[in-house]
Amino acid sequence: MPPTFDLLVIGDANPDVIVGPLTTPLAFGQREQLIDSGALTLGGSAAITACGAARLGLRVAFAGRVGDDGAGHYTRDQLAAQGVDIGGLHLDPSLPTPLTVVVTRGDDRAILTAPGTLAATSGRDVPEHLLTSARHVHAASYFLMPGLAADLPGLFDTAHAAGATTSLDTNDDSSGRWDRAALAPVLARTDILLPNAAEAHRLAGTDGTSVTAAAELLAHQVPLVAVKNGADGALCHDGRTLLTSAGIRVTPQDAVGAGDSFNAGFLAGRLAGRPIAEALDLAAACGALSTRAAGGTTAQPTWEEALTHLTVNGDSPT
């Protein structure tokens, strides 16, 4: 029987409140500061990746946990509206949905998150029938969900046994510990690692060297590493060969979730059978195009739109 889904995404989902740009220092003392814009959007690395993949035409399911509250229902509704199957997104009656406030300043941002259900999310929130009915399983925000992190080796084993491939975007470690020993069993079962440049350095322990060196080192632990490198585009390493992509030119409005849209593009490209170099170009285009509007999902491109922008910028997808 063919797989029901192209992609199962497991991890975090929550509303994002995005405000900015802040042009002066953040003031306390009950002072009110005015900024140019604010937006309520769907957030969470896993949720943004799921929506980006669905926008690119993949059959996507999501598994995780939110609160049985207004924020949780908003999150479920937003995922469903993007065409993501939410049968595996559980409502927790005792804990609130995570909430994130993003304050932008230039091309940087500060992220404040109330964790809510994040710590309670575990492998029990991932139905086995979803693990065994997807072509690929992607996990995000490893460090934010210690319960799920501990269960990932077993979840990835189940996915592999059913013939699926796996990927991981650890995202940032708010604790600053970057426990590579604890992560090792997960990396041993990960087919594609998708960090940004700063995360790649922390995961590899290569601060002070080139991002290429970090990617190459990580590629000895994971078969394929694709690194998001901001305005410099992206790069990919399989332990033998380095590939790079300069990305495409856009006028960015908001970079929140751009890395998650990159993830969606890379996975969609690989699941479509595209060579790694083409998947990397597609991913870089998807990440760049997502920055054209506030929020992680508002401006995510379709497959045809991403390919059109690649063609306009001189690449040659077919």
The domains of the chain are located at 5-23+35-310
What averages of pLDDT result for each successive group of 10 residues across the chain (318 residues)? 92 95 92 92 97 98 98 98 98 97 87 96 98 98 97 98 98 95 97 97 91 96 96 95 93 89 98 97 96 91 94 57
pLDDT at 255: 84
Distances (CA, A) of 85 to 24, 77, 314: 42, 11, 35
Q: What six digits make up the tokens of 316?
A: 């040659």
Per-residue pLDDT, 315: 52
pLDDT of 295 reads 87
Q: What is the pLDDT of residue 311?
A: 78
d(CA 92, CA 14): 13
pLDDT at 318: 46
Kindly report the CATH class assigned to 5-23+35-310: alpha beta
Q: What's phi and psi for 116, nearest 5 deg?
A: 50, -120
Alpha-carbon 99 to chain mean position: 17
Q: Which residue has tokens 């509303």?
A: 15
Q: Please, are residues 235 and 242 in contact by the beta-carbon 8 Å criterion?
A: yes
- For the entire predicted model, the pTM comes to 0.95
